[in-house]
Amino acid sequence: MAPPSLQEVKEKVECLEKELSLPRGVLEVVQEPLVLLNQEWGFIKTNRKAEEMLRYTWKELQEMDFFDLVDLESLGEVRDGFAAMKKNPEVRLKTSVVSQSREKIPVEISGHFQGEACLLLLKDLREVVRFEEEWEKKKKELTEKIRERDQYARELQAMRDLYKERVREIEKMRAEAVFLSHTDDLTGIFNHRFFMQQLNLELERRKRYPSPLSLLMIDIDFFKHYNDNNGHLAGDEALRAVALLIQRGVRQTDIVARYGGEEFVAILINAGREKALEIGERVRRNIAETSFPNEHRQPNKNLTVSISVATYSPSLVSLAELLRTADDALYRAKRGGRNRIEG
């Protein structure tokens, strides 16, 4: 239930003949702390609510004036407000009064002069202040939690970004590791292990989906002679150059690998015997027409390669059979004078 307004209080007291002779029982009707002051701001009457709030007895209050209760920090403001009360019909102001136990009690004062007396209604604001303080505390806590949440979100996003970056680095390292595990250290083309894996996969694929497949086996002629006469560094350079020339001679879809030593292989995807012979001849010619350091010292006065061709067929369905066929053809090319292609 809302407390009575000052106007309501006025209406109740105006019906009495004289304010100074008010019986205390009339003031008890009001449920808010109520005091009656003289023009010198001394206490004339109070109700029980006022005495309970201020914790002074009526006898003690009779020896005081209202300013004895006002907090020193707001005393000047209250004096000005009370002075204005003598001119204005009604004055409202907020301040603090000090109880006998020295508790500062926030109040809203509604004051009105009636004849020789001043009627003051003191609205206790402690609950309001406590609520406001609690509300401010909650707001600060909420603000801090929001700040912490935002900070956590930023840190979490930073961790996610870092994690993604680490994943990318790991994937890159893994891809590099896989690439290196499939790559010949010296020439940079695929190594023997990768060649065997891919050739086996291609053969299995041909069994399910028949299509042409051929294999080139390429061997550098008299390479030991070249290596012994020019040194291992020159020999390594020659191996790298031959690997590059083979890659240039085949198609982009073909797979070139170092088979071992001075021997290379190329898996020709969707290439029958005639196409394989054409590609093999192009590779042989590219190498024969390329100048190598001191190649005139070679037995045939040139650095060349011998090449064999083996093509997948119903009679050559296994990896071992295809490699044996290519190896036999390479032997024939060597025996037939080198710098040639057989298959």
Q: How far is CA 188 from CA 250, 257, 264, in A?
A: 16, 9, 12
Per DSSP, the three-state class of 180 is: helix
Residue 1 reports pLDDT greater than 70: no
Treating both helix axes as pointing N-terminal to C-terminal, what angle do 319-335 and 192-208 enclose, rounded to 10 degrees? 120
Confidence category of residue 89, pLDDT binned at 50, 70, 90: low
pLDDT exceeds cutoff 80 at 232: yes
Structure token digits, residue 104: 């500062």
Q: In this structure, are residues 71 and 95 in contact, taking their beta carbons and an 8 Å threshold?
A: yes
- The yes-or-no answer on residue 262 being catalytic is yes
pLDDT score of 17 more than 50: no
The per-residue pLDDT for range 277-289, each reduced to its tens digit, is 999 999 999 999 9
Q: What is the DSSP string of 275-319?
A: HHHHHHHHHHHHHHTS--TTGGGSTTSS--EEEEEEE-BTTB-SH
Provide the 3-class DSSP secondary structure of residue 159.
helix
CA distance 18 to 27: 14
188-226: pLDDT as tens digits: 999 999 999 999 999 988 888 888 999 999 999 999 999
Domains annotated for the chain, with CATH where assigned, are 6-129 (3.30.450.20), 192-342 (3.30.70.270)
Which of these is catalytic: 19, 262, 263, 342? 262
Whether 330 and 307 have beta carbons less than 8 Å apart is answered as yes
Residue closest to 213 by CA, chosen among 225, 205, 224, 221 = 205
The pLDDT value recorded for residue 25 is: 54
Mean pLDDT of 109-126: 84
Report angle CA 12, 18, 21 to the nearest 5 degrees. Answer: 100
Both tokens of 296, joined, read 């005139």
pTM > 0.75: no
| Cα radius of gyration (the chain) | 54
